[in-house]
Amino acid sequence: MLSSDLFELVQKYNVPGPRYTSYPTAVQLSDQYEQGELDRAFGKRRDKEQAFSLYIHIPFCFSLCWYCGCTKIITKDQDRGDHYLDYLEKEMSLVRETIHPGSTLKQIHFGGGTPTFLSPPQLRRLGALLQSYFKIHPDVEFSVEIDPRRCSEDHIKALAEIGCTRASLGVQDTNEEVQKAIRRVQPFEKTAQVTNLLRKHSILNINFDLIYGLPKQTLPLFHKTIEDVVSLEPDRFAIYSYAHIPSIMPAQKLLDENDFPSTEAKLGMLVYAINKLPDYGYNYIGMDHFAKETDELSLAIKEGTLQRNFQGYSTHAELDMLALGMSGISQGTEFYYQNEKDLGKYYALLDKGELPVFKFLSLSDDDKLRKQIIMQIMCRGEIDYVQFSDQHEISFPKQFSSELESLKQLEADGLLILFEHGFKITSAGRLFLRNIAMVFDAYLQQKNHQTAYSKTV
């Protein structure tokens, strides 16, 4: 059970807010941009030899999970994978022209949708395309999202052959009643089998995704899920708060709202994970991530190099990200852009020989500063005004005086401690990182924010 103080805080701070996998958030990207802005941005990118992170979105899934918030297309037609790869190749050839010929890929991630919707030969073809269009760094970190329900040993062999070293398995919850309620029935034996096969084929870094706050979930059932999953000893867990935004994700309307756990029970699940997982050797990295002591995320948090990007916490988030495929969001130091979210339009632009860009945002100096502040809150839980001011040639207390005033209320609620030269987030405050970061978000007063985000708890 939660203490009454914590429950009061939850009631007060459970408001819609971003997850801050980026700042500004994806909501701020606009389709009202000039082609010249985009051309200039690509021109600058082409001039600079650098290492990139590459994300490839595979949008197809065989069936619909009702809680899903991803951009996906439900189909059983495997040939659509070949057609999509034809277009990814066109996109690769165009993107290659917007980066320096000496630039390398230091991180590759296949996400979705369901990357293992692609058959083993299609996965091999995708690996070959990457090799022919990009320079791949010898120490590349190569990860893939896996749906254990759709992953054979041949898929895993193909992934290992093309260089994949990390896998992230969608688990969500191990209880059958919960799985039926969200229309994603995945026997635990299947998760265990895929985990073992990944290890057999030397894909050794394994993450499990869980979700708390799903229909039919209760605290005792969640405890059992934790017990089940730790028995397979993954290196990391991402334990996400279920984001209920049916106005944006219509499939969520299918869920029975009477089945949702209360806010108190939902937060109790996160608190349980934070308290219990260290007993099994997992450190709490922040917000929704846990990692074994030996995992790179644990090392990054110790060395102060932890970062956050569109995929959550990462050790390589300092790299500019190139995103390929329908709806992918590319994220750089100076600008972000998103590909067409409609598959037909994505294909049509590529048929015309154009990059399938749909929305764009050029980061202002203020965006860049606030991005640094928000990332420090999310990744380090503290800000030193002197250090920050020196690094960015500003006076933090002067430039953010109204924000520091607003932090006093959060301090009164025990979420952080304000010092003369900085502030530090308390252990209670770690449950409300999004709310603390929101104080520094310049866009939250705009009318679209209430409907665009899920609640922070």
- Give the C-alpha distances (Å, rounded to integers) separating 155 from 74, 87, 148, 160, 288: 20, 22, 11, 9, 28
Residue from the set 113, 213, 328, 429 that interacts with ligand SF4 by CB under 6 A: 113
Residue from the set 141, 147, 340, 367 that interacts with ligand SF4 by CB under 6 A: 147
Report the residue number, 72 or 155, with the smaller CB distance to ligand SF4. Answer: 72
Longest distance between any two alpha carbons in the chain, whole Å: 62
| Alpha-carbon gap, residue 57 to 280, rounded angstroms | 33
Query: Which part of the chain contacts ligand SF4 (CB under 6 A), choosing from 13-21, 63-71, 191-199, 219-227?
Result: 63-71
What is the amino acid identity at position 158?
Answer: A
Residue from the set 65, 285, 319, 329 that interacts with ligand SF4 by CB under 6 A: 65
Cα(first)–Cα(last) distance of the chain, in Å?
A: 16
CA-nearest of 240, 275, 378 to 283 is: 275
- Phi and psi angles of residue 206, each rounded to the nearest 5 degrees, phi first: -125, 130
**141 close to 316: Cβ distance less than 8 angstroms:** yes
Report the residue number, 15 or 254, with the smaller CB distance to ligand SF4. Answer: 254
Query: Which part of the chain contacts ligand SF4 (CB under 6 A), choosing from 46-54, 65-73, 98-106, 404-412?
Result: 65-73
Residue from the set 17, 81, 112, 356 that interacts with ligand SF4 by CB under 6 A: 112
Name the one residue in this structure whose structure tokens are 């998760």: 191
Report the residue number, 112 or 356, with the smaller CB distance to ligand SF4. Answer: 112
Nearest approach, Cβ of residue 147 and ligand SF4 (Å): 5
What is the amino acid identity at position 359?
Answer: K
Nearest approach, Cβ of residue 115 and ligand SF4 (Å): 10
Residue from the set 9, 10, 54, 61 that interacts with ligand SF4 by CB under 6 A: 61
- Phi and psi angles of residue 407, each rounded to the nearest 5 degrees, phi first: -65, -20
Give, as ranges, the residues between 72 and 111 that touch ligand SF4 (CB under 6 A): 72
* Helical spans, DSSP H, in 134-187: 153-161, 176-181
| Alpha-carbon gap, residue 6 to 115, rounded angstroms | 40
Query: Which part of the chain contacts ligand SF4 (CB under 6 A), choosing from 64-72, 312-320, 347-355, 382-390?
Result: 64-72
Report the residue number, 112 or 127, with the smaller CB distance to ligand SF4. Answer: 112
Q: Both tokens of residue 295?
A: 């995992």
Nearest approach, Cβ of residue 356 and ligand SF4 (Å): 20
Residue from the set 70, 85, 230, 274 that interacts with ligand SF4 by CB under 6 A: 70
**247 C-beta neighbours (distance < 10 Å), count:** 10
| Alpha-carbon gap, residue 442 to 342, rounded angstroms | 29
Query: Count residues contacting ligand SF4 (CB under 6 A)?
Result: 11
Nearest approach, Cβ of residue 64 and ligand SF4 (Å): 5
Report the residue number, 63 or 218, with the smaller CB distance to ligand SF4. Answer: 63
Residue from the set 3, 8, 48, 64 that interacts with ligand SF4 by CB under 6 A: 64
Q: Both tokens of residue 312?
A: 């959550």
Write the secondary structure of 188-211 as one string of H (helix), E (strand) and C (coil): HHHHHHHHHHHHHCCCCEEEEEEE
Q: Determine if 182 is a binding residue for ligand SF4 (CB under 6 A).
A: no
Query: Which part of the chain contacts ligand SF4 (CB under 6 A), choosing from 59-67, 81-89, 154-162, 275-283?
Result: 59-67
Nearest approach, Cβ of residue 150 and ligand SF4 (Å): 8
Q: Both tokens of residue 186?
A: 């995945």
Interface ranges with ligand SF4 (CB under 6 A): 61, 64-65, 68, 70, 72, 112-114, 147, 170
